[in-house]
Structure 1
Amino acid sequence: MLDQDNFTEARDIGADLRAAIAAGDAERIAALLDPLPYSEALREFLALPPEARDDVLKLVPVELAADLIEEAPYEMAAELVERLEPERAAEILEELDSDVQADVIGEMDAEDAEAVLSEMDAEDAADVRRLAAYEDDTAGGLMMTEVFQFSDKDTVGKVLRALASDDEDFERYRGQHPYIVDDAGVPVGVVSLRGLLTAKRSSNLTEIMVTPLTVPVDMPLEKLEDIFNDYPFLGVPVVDADGLLVGVISRSAVADAVLERSESESLKRQGVVGDELRSMPTWLRSRRRFAWLSANIVLNIVAASVISAYEDTLSAVIALAVFLPMVSDMSGCSGNQAVGVTMRELSLGLVRPMDAFRVWLKEISVGVINGIALGVLIGVVAWVWKGNPALGLVIGAALALNTMLAVSIGGVVPLLLKRLGQDPAAASGPLLTTVTDMAGFFFVLSFATLMMPWLI
């Protein structure tokens, strides 16, 4: 929690920033934002009205504007860039690494993106177009095209001179080892920094290089994650179908992609679509959430219709109302566990839609054990609490069966949705909730109807 001094300081920065923007004081704006940590600067920036944000990006040095764009989620970054004149937007994007450029351009409308690309350096624009064409969660979509590379005819001295130069372009290599390519552009070796420092300056790079591990542009994120888990590399060269060096993928890029995917799936399961931030337009956020919530109304009406069909039973045995939400909620928890495991195995590439039957067998074995155990537990509770063993039998049997059904759905449905080309992270949760609620109500009320003489 912020103490009073920190709160006052944060409030003062916001007020000073707004005053500087109103005065068009570019130096003051930069002086306020530049010393702040990136996250703090972005927080102050996004707290501004949209028009004020536009002014900041137009007024501050292009390097600071690029830092703000890079720190923002890609959807927000794209919106910020789209609001700028193409010339200014191109200046800002050219300060970013190629992989970030491609991510931002990929989120923009095609017309706006092309307007910005036409203002960029032709070679940089070509790299961005190429990167934007790759799938996001592949080596091609995550790599950067800036590569610290040398010819197999170069010497150690040339590399050392490049390292010692003050060329700002070398800042983009992010600690890459020098990669060695032949005349055709095929990577043939990689040189360690220790090897460079201990070798003679006149030595050819081929004398100290080792064969590099390369990955194809279409390698999925799961396999990239495995590679960086197995090897201590900071980066790995990426090659195209012809074996030519086209980029480098860093350990940090893979780690960020894994984290982003995990966060995205978690948000989708909760009905949050896209990179929603509270600084986004209210109507946009409302429309996205409403689409999810309105669909859930329909699903809940379907589940409630089961209760309506058994109103007489529920009126006769009012104690059932106490246990209905318990049965549906506990079964839903079991189903969500199964969903979580399937989503994890999907992300790791351990299961595919064709494995649905095998997954079901694994889940139903767990569901039978846990279903019986939970059924006995809640059945005893119902018996002792209400003093009726028949009620305990109804509730226990319903929970046992519903748990088995829930884990079956939770384990298999994400695979079926994947097979149909749907997003399993977004659709599995509502479907599971509706079915477990409807089935739980049905099991409890239908069993109670059959055992009515022993319940009254």
Structure 2
Amino acid sequence: MSEQPVEIQPDRSLEEALLAAIAQDDAAEISALLEPLPLADALREILQLEADDRKKVLTLVPPALAAHLIEEAPHELGASLMEALEAARAVEIMDELDSDVQADLIGDMEAVEAEAILSKMDAGDAADVRRLAEYDPETAGGLMMAEAFWFKDTQTVGAVLREMASDDHDVDRYRGQHPYIVDENGAPIGVVSLRGLLSTKRSARLTSIMIEPMTVGVNASLSELEDIFDKYPFLGMPVVETDGRLVGTVSREAVSYALLERAESESLKLQGVVGDELRSMPTWLRSRRRLAWLSANIVLNIIAASVISAYEATLTAVIAIAIFLPMVSDMSGCSGNQAVGVTMRELSLGLVRPVDAFRVWLKEVSVGVINGIALGILIGIVAWVWKGNAALGLVIGLALAMNTILAVSIGGVVPLLLKRLGQDPAAASGPLLTTVTDMAGFFFVLSLATLMMPWLV
């Protein structure tokens, strides 16, 4: 530590003070600057630094503060920050985190860096992290923390209270869980309240004051967990393996965060952004991810443009049609995106499955016919009044009506078909819908115009 601490002048910015402290390797000063800030603000300050300075900050500050900052960051960003550290330092930070957060970070790291950290962790903790990382991240197993607050069914109230009061028992790590009672096989058979422990005779057995617990299996889906926490006021629930053993607990907070993450991820994927992109990430990585989607879109748009090329003579003869082409494709695309949104929502809630594709299609066609006719009449009247040609209004109105029906059919059904094929419905539905509605919209307008050419010129 520097013998001359950094003096912060009243007109000096926090960034300048932080950079000065980093330059002097002044761990105490860096901590003093960051600790008073809300975690989100402290993380923001760190992310504005160069990569080497970020690494230095996370190396110099106390492990607990570094852990709070890592936990505040999105998982992928937190993992990249941890990967940049020396393995020994990363382990110090990991020791301050709960097992569910540890598993999330390890799951987002490159295999080599993850193994380097796990190899230096306590063997038991590393085993817990490896086990948690094997579960699907959107199941109870993937969301649970391995730390469970449990006691044996043979223990008395007094023995439990003495154990909880001992220095060896860290009650805070259980996030306010009620103690679970397990049998000789490790299966939860009861749960007791902390109030019940304090108000019961010390000689009483735990089995005399416990009530039967509600448990969830490790493979319970995120949607199932959402339903349970909506129905019951639990802060957390015990998670059991297929053989009934208690293997962890899943909290209401973890489920709520996972639901928020899923909604954000699906929204970003529909816009062509894959992963937890942040502007603090390497420019080349961000560019590569975006190009993967944009490059595919070039091919799809060339296909759509080829339709226009095939009807070049029609466009030349009736140039007014060009004005309405983007209107037809854009309005149909909006209708299709509405259908995609509803299907993605119902998929996330478990209300529809790929086998329901035909039923979903029937329902979307019903809406598509009504909306298509309404929108077609509206834009047809606009085209007629604007250009003074009733035939043009009929062409544009019919094209929009037909394209709207097609768009909602694709938007409602394609996510289910992609799910059936094992593809990401959120990432693929958007580009596919956009291209097909553009191509079909151009085709409907130009082919109808070609048929009605005598009345258009």
The answer, yes or no, to whether TM exceeds 0.5 is yes
Report the TM-score when normalising by structure 2.
0.95
CA distance in 2, matches of 1:316, 1:166: 88
Instruction: Please show how residues 128-139 of structure 1 align to structure 2 within 5 Å.
Output: 128-139=129-140
- Cα deviation, 1:4-58, whole Å, max 9, x if unaligned, reads xxxx989711111111011000000111111111101100111111111111111
Instruction: Tell me the distance in 2 between the aligned counterparts of 1:30 and 1:282.
Output: 29
List per-residue Cα deviations over 1:69-90 (Å, max 9, x = no partner). Answer: 1111111111111121111111
The Cα shift of 1:289 comes to: 1.0
2:259 corresponds to: 258
Give, in angstroms, the shift of residue 390 of structure 1. 0.8
Q: Does 1:20 align with 2:21?
A: yes
Per the TM alignment, residue 190 of structure 1 is displaced from its structure 2 partner at its CA by 0.8
Partner Cα separation in structure 1 for residue 295 and residue 314 of structure 2: 30
Secondary structure at the residue paired with 1:236?
strand
State the 1:160 CA deviation.
3.8
* Paired position in structure 1 for 2:184: 183
Letter in 2 for 1:45: I
**Any unmatched runs of 5+ in structure 2?**
1-8
**28-37 or 10-19, which deviates more:** 10-19
Which one-letter code corresponds to 1:445 in the other structure?
L
Q: Return the offset for 1:165.
A: 5.3
8 Å Cα contact 2:143-2:254 kept in structure 1: yes
How far off its partner does 1:168 sit?
Answer: 7.3
Distance 2:303 2:279 in 1: 33
Q: Does 1:306 align with 2:307?
A: yes
In structure 2, the CA distance between the partners of 1:237 and 1:314, relative to structure 1 (3 Å rule), is same
| One-letter code aligned to 1:254 | V
1:126 match: 127
**In the aligned structure 2, how far is the partner of 1:98 from the partner of 1:10?**
43
1:339-378 aligned within 5 A: 339-378=340-379
Could you report, residue by residue, the CA deviation over 1:341-364 in whole angstroms, capped at 9, with x for unpaired residues? 111111111111111111111111
1:211 CA drift (Å): 0.6
Between stretches 293-302 and 31-40, larger displacement belongs to 293-302
Alpha-carbon distance between aligned partners in 1 of 2:25 and 2:304, rounded to the nearest angstrom = 58
Partner of 1:445: 446
For residues 404 and 159 of structure 2, the distance between their equivalents in structure 1, rounded to whole angstroms, comes to 67
1:162–1:39 distance in 2 versus 1, CA, 3 Å = farther
Percent of matched pairs sharing the same residue? 75
Equivalence for 1:3: none
**CA distance in 2 between partners of 1:100 and 1:241 (Å):** 23
What letter matches 1:312 in structure 2? Answer: A
Q: CA separation in 2, counterparts of 1:253 and 1:33?
A: 26
Structure 2 residue identity aligned to 1:99: D
Pairing 1:289-300 to 2, within 5 Å after superposition: 289-300=290-301
Tell which deviates more after alignment, 191-200 or 335-344: 191-200
Q: Tell me the number of residue pairs that the alignment of Structure 1 and Structure 2 aligns.
A: 449
Equivalent residues in 2 for 1:148-297, closer than 5 Å: 148-164=149-165, 169-297=170-298
Cα distance in 1, alignment partners of residues 399 and 85 from structure 2: 60
Amino acid at match of 1:66: A
Counterpart CA distance in 2 for 1:109 and 1:443 is 49
User: Counterpart of 1:406 in 2: which secondary structure?
Assistant: helix
Question: Which has the higher mean CA deviation after the structures are superposed, 290-299 or 36-45?
Answer: 290-299
**Bigger CA drift: 231-240 or 185-194?**
185-194
- Matched residues in 1 for 2:441 and 2:380: separation? 14
Mapped contact 2:163–2:169 kept (Cα < 8 A): no
Q: Which moved more, 1:376-385 or 1:326-335?
A: 376-385
Give distance in 2, aligned partners of 1:96 and 1:203. Answer: 35
1:87 corresponding residue in structure 2: 88
Q: In structure 2, what residue type is equivalent to 1:238?
A: V
Deviations 1:391-429 (A, max 9, x none): 111111101100000011001111111111111100000
**What is the deviation of 1:159?**
3.8
Q: Distance in 1 between matches of 2:370 and 2:164?
A: 63
> Match of 2:238, SS?
strand
Counterpart CA distance in 2 for 1:15 and 1:85 is 26
Give me the whole-angstrom Cα distance separating, in 1, the residues matched to 2:150 and 2:48: 42
1:375 Cα deviation from its structure 2 partner: 1.0
Q: Distance in 2 between matches of 1:163 and 1:382?
A: 78
Partner of 2:120: helix, strand, or coil?
A: coil
Instruction: Give the aligned CA root-mean-square deviation in angstroms.
Output: 1.6
What is the DSSP-based 3-state SS (H/G/I as helix, E as strand, rest coil) of the residue aligned with 1:280?
coil
- Find the aligned partners of 2:164 and 2:49 in 1 and give their Cα distance: 41
Letter of the structure 1 residue corresponding to residue 57 of structure 2: V
Separation (CA, whole Å) in 2 of partners of 1:326 and 1:11: 53
The Cα of 1:200 is off from its aligned counterpart by 2.6
Q: 1:294 deviation in Å?
A: 1.5
TM-score, normalized by length of structure 1? 0.96
Match of 1:66 in 2: 67
Mapped partners of 2:95, 2:281: distance in 1: 25
CA distance, structure 2, for counterparts of residue 13 and residue 189 of structure 1: 52
In structure 2, how many angstroms separate the alpha carbons of the residues matched to 1:437 and 1:22?
55
> How far apart, CA to CA, are the structure 2 residues paired with 1:65 and 1:26?
12
Deviates more, 1:423-432 or 1:349-358: 349-358
Relative to structure 2, which stretch is displaced further, 153-162 or 445-454? 153-162
Indicate how the Cα distance of structure 1 residues 93 and 308 shifts in structure 2: closer, same or farther if over 3 A, else same. same
In the other structure, the counterpart of 1:390 is 391
1:322: Cα distance to partner? 1.6
Query: 1: CA distance between counterparts of 2:11 and 2:287?
Result: 29
Write the distance in 2 (CA, Å) between the matches of 1:52 and 1:148: 39
CA distance in 1, matches of 2:393, 2:95: 69
The SS at the match of 1:416 is helix
- What is the CA deviation profile of residues 143-179 of structure 1, one whole-angstrom value per residue up to 9, with x for unaligned ones? 0011111111222334444555566732211111111
CA distance in 1, matches of 2:378, 2:167: 71
Task: Give the match for residue 322 of structure 1.
Answer: 323
Amino acid at match of 2:190: G
